[in-house]
Amino acid sequence: MNHLGLFYINKTFRVLFLSVFKSVCVKEWNVICSGFTSGWKETGSGCYWTPHTHTHTHTHTHTHTHTHTHTHTHTHTHTHTHTHTHTHTHTHTHTHTHTHTHTHTHTHTHTHTHTHTHTHTHTHTHTLSLSTASLSEAGTPAQPAVMADEAAEQEQLGPDRALNGADEDREEVGTAEEAAKKKRRRKKKSNKAVAAAGGDSEADVVVVEVTKQLQNQTMEEKDEDGDEDGDEGENSAGKKKKKKKKKKGPKCQSDPPSIPICDLFPDGVFPVGQECEYPAAQDGRNAASRSTSEEKRVLDKANEEMWNDFRQAAEAHRQVRQHVRGFMKPGMTMIEICERLEDASRKLIKENGLNAGLAFPTGCSLNHCAAHYTPNAGDATVLQYDDVCKIDFGTHINGRIIDCAFTVTFNPKYDKLLEAVRDATNTGIRNAGIDVRLCDVGEAIQEVMESYEVELDGKTYQVKPIRNLNGHSIGQYRIHAGKTVPIVKGGEATKMEEGEVYAIETFGSTGKGVVHDDMDCSHYMKNFDIGHVPIRLPRAKHLLNVINERFGTLAFCRRWLDRLGESKYLMALKNLCDLGIVDPYPPLCDSRGSFTAQFEHTVLLRPTCKEVVSRGDDY
């Protein structure tokens, strides 16, 4: 233990020393007692005085506030000029100029407040050293030396200390009261030391808290700056992050189907149909080389947008026909079946004028009627258990038409008839290809179909292809583009070409195998190649305008005109047919009492391969 001041006095002369010391230092005794007595420590051999320490803590707090204001002004000016010139007998020129000026002003104010706290702790230690010679117990000559040392000490400490010795004569040294006072003073001094230390720790805590606040404020300001920068820069990064956090699986179609196909495939890439190699050419060349040719791949890629439109329409067709197979049952009217099918098609294809919609009316020909029947308003025909119903409907995206058909039966006795026609259609698809002659496809179809027989009510029938019904090429907004694919031998020797689209369809019958026009006409289509024809009847002119606006060169039916709110249009429609502007397509029927079936697919003759784009799990 270190001692800054040591004053040793033998036990025998302690009282004498105190009396002399107090008589000299009467005036300052209270000061000494208050300042030093707490430091005295009595032991068995002497008195010790402990160090006296003062601690000063200074805390300085500086607050700086910085305000930054940024103003950004963006001005966008858009000028649109439209010039329309119409030339008839008179020339009218209209010029419309639209100028739009948009001014956006963004003001951002940033206020930064920084608080700095500095804590300074100063510790002062006062040391009092008292030294003297030993006093002998019998009053030996060492006593004058002690007194001389005391006098020198008194001169160093100051003349005032000698004034208050008389008052201290009243106190008795070593009494219990003095001991209690000393103990209280020691405790008070220790409390002060603890308080000083606590002050230091509190100052440290304040510094730590202020530092944390500054750090948090800095982080918040950075976040605000980042948010503002993100707002000014279209927030693309933030959106991407949100998308990543909210990853969801692919959407599922509702039941009944109502979600558009484009929403089910938001990336705009739709399922590819069945891809097949082309058949080997007659000169022995391997058509598989097309799939490895770099040139063909480039050509195929160049038309990817067109192929994708076909695939979107085909996916809508697949989902709608699956829905139709689920709800069709005996006892339903044909109008109800067609309307439910067409409503679902419009939703899935997301009908949009001539850009997307139905390609032609829903065919639901029954039994001996092979094609082109759809009910007109007021038709009360009901589907029966023994009926054979051909469902033929089309969808399109940007005029890229999917023509696909299938046959529905409820009585299993017709299974062989359906199997024969399905097999014949697949045969036609296998034989179709670039540079293949159309007559060769028809010959292969006939051979397969006629190999089937069907037994109905104890009588056996050979399944016959309907010779005057054919497949056909498909163009944009044109269901029949000019080429026909026969289903019997002896057809045209014209070849299929790269990039063409075909509807490969076959019809099988238990009757004569020939169809004729019968029943009321329901299908109509504007002549694709018709030029300008003068029209006298005002109602016919109005009807033609409606047809051009809503259907263009796509097929339509009378129910669709009713749906648009048209009325009393039959005379006008007949006038358009008589002028050759619109062509009627009446139902095509075989002999009464016979049964006919149909299967059809759309095939893309791509440069690299043949794609059966409408192929599904059902057929």
Q: Would residue 88 show up in a list of annotated catalytic residues for this protein? A: no
Residue 289 pLDDT:
74
Classify 268 as helix, strand or coil.
Answer: coil
Residue 491 pLDDT:
87
Give the model's confidence band at 290: pLDDT under 50 very low, under 70 low, under 90 confident, else very high: confident
Residue 341 pLDDT:
98
Residue 208 pLDDT:
55
Of 17, 24, 14, 18, nearest in space to 165 by CA: 24
pLDDT at 284 over 70: no
pLDDT in tens, 208-240: 565 666 666 666 555 555 444 444 444 444 444
392 is in an annotated binding site: yes
* Buried b or exposed e, range 140-173, using 16+ CB within 10 angstroms: eeebeebeeebeebbeeeeeebbebbeebeeeee
| CB neighbours of residue 244 within 10 Å | 8
Identified catalytic residue from 505, 566, 590, 611: 505
Give the model's confidence band at 461: pLDDT under 50 very low, under 70 low, under 90 confident, else very high: very high
What residue ranges define each of the domains in the chain, with the CATH number in brackets? Answer: 5-55+123-204 (no CATH), 301-521+589-612 (3.90.230.10), 523-585 (1.10.10.10)
Residue 233 pLDDT:
46
160 is in an annotated binding site: no
pLDDT in tens, 433-444: 999 999 999 999
Q: Would residue 480 show up in a list of annotated catalytic residues for this protein? A: yes
Give the model's confidence band at 293: pLDDT under 50 very low, under 70 low, under 90 confident, else very high: confident
Mean pLDDT of 290-306: 88
Classify 606 as helix, strand or coil.
Answer: coil
Q: Would residue 423 show up in a list of annotated catalytic residues for this protein? A: no
Residue 220 pLDDT:
59
Q: Would residue 403 show up in a list of annotated catalytic residues for this protein? A: yes
Give the model's confidence band at 39: pLDDT under 50 very low, under 70 low, under 90 confident, else very high: very low
Gyration radius from the chain CA atoms? 54
Which helix or strand (DSSP H or E) is residue 305 part of?
helix 304-327
Of 432, 450, 433, nearest in space to 441 by CA: 432
Which helix or strand (DSSP H or E) is residue 484 part of?
strand 484-485
Rounded to whole angstroms, the Cα distance separating 334 from 353 reads 26
583 is in an annotated binding site: no
Mean pLDDT of 387-409: 98
| Amino acid identity at 412 | P
Q: Which range among 276-285, 352-361, 391-400, 446-455 shows the weakest confidence by mean pLDDT? A: 276-285
110 is in an annotated binding site: no
Identified catalytic residue from 28, 590, 600, 611: 600
263 is in an annotated binding site: no
Q: Would residue 505 show up in a list of annotated catalytic residues for this protein? A: yes
Residue 14 pLDDT:
52
Identified catalytic residue from 28, 315, 403, 440: 403
Rounded to whole angstroms, the Cα distance separating 226 from 238 reads 10
Residue 597 pLDDT:
99
pLDDT in tens, 315-340: 999 999 999 999 999 999 999 999 99
Residue 280 pLDDT:
78
| Residue 423, token pair as written in the block | 């097999």
**8-state DSSP, 284:** S
472 is in an annotated binding site: yes
Is residue 602 within 8 A of residue 503, CB to CB? The reply is yes
Q: Which tops the pLDDT comparison, 491 or 95?
A: 491
Identified catalytic residue from 480, 492, 498, 518: 480
Mean pLDDT of 267-283: 87
pLDDT in tens, 61-91: 444 444 444 444 444 444 444 444 443 333 3
Residue 181 pLDDT:
66
pLDDT at 604 over 60: yes
| CB neighbours of residue 423 within 10 Å | 19
Residue 251 pLDDT:
74
Residue 204 pLDDT:
52
Mean pLDDT of 155-176: 43
Mean pLDDT of 275-298: 76
| CB neighbours of residue 525 within 10 Å | 22
Q: From residue 76, how far is each of 101, 102, 543, 571 by CA, in Å? A: 6, 5, 45, 55
Classify 506 as helix, strand or coil.
Answer: strand
| Neighbouring C-alpha atoms within 13 Å toward the C-beta of 295 | 2
pLDDT at 269 over 80: yes
pLDDT at 200 over 70: no
Rounded to whole angstroms, the Cα distance separating 555 from 522 reads 10
Of 390, 379, 409, 371, nearest in space to 518 by CA: 371
Give the model's confidence band at 603: pLDDT under 50 very low, under 70 low, under 90 confident, else very high: very high
Is residue 347 within 8 A of residue 260, CB to CB? The reply is yes
Rounded to whole angstroms, the Cα distance separating 236 from 545 reads 45
Residue 279 pLDDT:
86
Q: Which range among 5-14, 315-324, 372-381, 497-506 shows the weakest confidence by mean pLDDT? A: 5-14
Mean pLDDT of all residues in the chain?
76
**What percent of the chain is modeled with pLDDT above 70?**
58
Residue 294 pLDDT:
86
Classify 17 as helix, strand or coil.
Answer: helix
pLDDT at 250 over 60: no
Of 499, 370, 503, nearest in space to 438 by CA: 503
90 is in an annotated binding site: no
Rounded to whole angstroms, the Cα distance separating 586 from 519 reads 7
Identified catalytic residue from 317, 368, 396, 472: 472
pLDDT at 365 over 70: yes
Residue 106 pLDDT:
47
Give the model's confidence band at 142: pLDDT under 50 very low, under 70 low, under 90 confident, else very high: very low
Q: Would residue 392 show up in a list of annotated catalytic residues for this protein? A: yes
Phi and psi of 428, rounded to 5°? -60, -40
